[in-house]
Structure 1
């Protein structure tokens, strides 16, 4: 990075939370309808144990979502493990994964979307294949939960792939340095 001022991409968390609620409702309805269409039946049977499984799977997949960001930083950006960090920002109510090392824009975009595919799409497809309503439901929740990643991805598309992107370690913010 040089002495040029970075372009700052900052997320509007209130807008993202509102959009997340809307997208969650839409995706859950669509995926449940798709499951019913594929298997020619509709079931909405939940026991207390199912709710416990749902909650547990959701928490585990949120953890995996952040882990896949870290994996993406290492695979696509060549970031060593020691330069990674993760946790929960209780003030913002979000889990996060970050890297101390800047990445190319191309690598950052890949790392941003990897969790969507691995914790949202893959479980949904598995749930649809198995006709498992709970897995479909959790997959839809995690697909919608990646909305902040998509907002960042959308903003990063405006810049060349060789631009350098630095992740803010505390805030949902990226710093872009164009060459």
Structure 2
């Protein structure tokens, strides 16, 4: 089992996400999460999926799009660090990414499929990591980052946004 990362393995910014992840196997946690978003999307109408709880806030579809963007970026970072890449992996501006991609034009089925395929790809990659690879350290936005810390950040980031969907959008999510 991959142990929870120590605070020396990630930037303080990520502490909140990592603390959201329950104890246990991180791959199993990500597998459990893999069912939450597709189940949610299958229960929504297009109108519900385009809902914004306030002006200037993302729609439900955009929140899921943000999860997709984040998972792809974090998976890329994790892969490179696990394979020994010592480059400083840059941060990203989530708002810029959201401004330039029309997630609201996706059908619910397409968004669900893209989420499922993206998460499946992440899980397959993680299952193939060696114990040594999980402990590899690199740099993200000028801060230390281990491969395992990034996996925990991915899980915690999704838990955070699922809580927002439950609390701000009044969606029935079992976390």
TM-score (normalised: structure 2): 0.32
In terms of Rg, which structure is larger? 1
Higher relative contact order (CA 8 A, sep 6+): 2
Whose strand fraction is larger, Structure 1's or Structure 2's?
1
